Structure 1
Amino acid sequence: MPLRPALATAACAALLLLVAAPSAPADSTALADPKETVTIDSVGTMAADGTVTLSGTYRCVDNVGPVYVSSSIGQPSENYRYSIGGTPAVCDGKLHRWENTSRPSPTTLKHGKADVEATIVELHPVGILPLPRFHALMKEDITLSKA
């Protein structure tokens, strides 16, 4: 296999592992650079077909590899989290908006209270494999409303 497709495949595999990875501890934000932040809007939406949209802001300042804002959602009545997209991020020190949309299937999400985690994660090149480097993490209770 040529090197370039192999690296692209490795990057995709690493990103999939990040989406499936367990949540970081709530106190992990204490390790984040104070110039790097991610916020979550207090209201997310869910369309009639189950498509969920989450949004917020982010700021990151330094990267070597590609950076994404990933998000997941869960509800108090469930022991299950749903991954909701991954938006490419620009680490230029400026405040940017992010919005992730996905239609988890199957889903038991309902309108109402939910908790969302958003993470700025970089696929940092180490040797030939990119490894995750976390820039910021936020966990927030939101309201999931009709779109």
Structure 2
Amino acid sequence: MRITGLALATLAALATFTSPAAADAFSGQISVRDEVHIAPDGTVTLSGTYRCSGASPDRAVFLTSSLEQNGRQIGFGSTDAVCDGGEHPWSSSGPVEPLGGDLGFREGPARVQARLMTLENSGWLPLPRGLAGHEEGVALVDHRS
């Protein structure tokens, strides 16, 4: 009986945390800086600005980003977004040579994708839902020797 009660309480908390807001109530836009640098230590930082409003206070909004070049893509962790209508900077960093393996990112044209996301209740598990996105061509500048 305790397990059932705990399971129901957990599901109720998930449903509350991920309650959907009306899609037309949310507005958001994202920009991406047009030049991305790979630092000498192999760390790449993607950045830009975002603005959003109308997000439900009951659910988190976060920004995810990825870098793509010549069919190779690497994603970077998410950043919490503040949806107060103001413009905010964002940045995401990570290695282009994770665990010592070269993923093949080199100086030249690349693409960055940035998205504002949330989690919505879809039954048992919350699923990610895109709220706004932007994809842009960038110049990848490599400072590794």
User: Which of 84, 93, 103 matches 1:92?
Assistant: 84
What is the alpha-carbon distance in structure 2 between the residues aligned to residue 32 and residue 139 of structure 1? 22
In structure 2, what residue type is equivalent to 1:114?
A
Displacement after TM superposition at 1:124 (Å): 2.6
Note closer, same or farther for the CA distance 1:103–1:121 as it changes in structure 2 (3 Å cut): same
Contact 1:53 1:84 in 2 (8 A): no
Structure 2 residue aligned with 1:131:
127
Which structure dedicates a bigger proportion of its chain to strand?
Answer: 2
Q: Give the counterpart of 2:31 among 39, 42, 48.
A: 39
Aligned amino acid, residue 64 of structure 2: S
Query: Residue 129 and residue 34 in structure 1: after superposition, are their counterparts in 2 closer, same or farther (change >3 A)?
Result: closer
List alignment gaps of at least 5 residues for structure 2.
Answer: 15-22
Percent identity, aligned pairs only, is 34
Give secondary structure in 2 for the equivalent of 1:121: strand
| DSSP-derived class of the 1:60 partner | strand
CA distance in 2, matches of 1:39, 1:129: 30
Q: Which runs of 5+ in 1 are unaligned?
A: 11-30
Listed as ranges, the matches of 1:61-140 within 5 Å are 61=53, 62-63=55-56, 64-75=58-69, 78-104=70-96, 105=98, 106=101, 107-140=103-136
Structure whose alpha-carbon radius of gyration is higher: 2
Report Cα offsets for 1:50-85 as digits up to 9, x if no partner: 21100011112113322211111111xx22211122
* Corresponding letter in the other structure for 2:62: Y
When residues 102 and 33 of structure 1 are mapped into structure 2, their CA distance, relative to the original with a 3 A threshold, is: farther
Q: Is the counterpart of residue 145 in structure 1 residue 141 in structure 2?
A: yes
Paired letter, 2:107: H
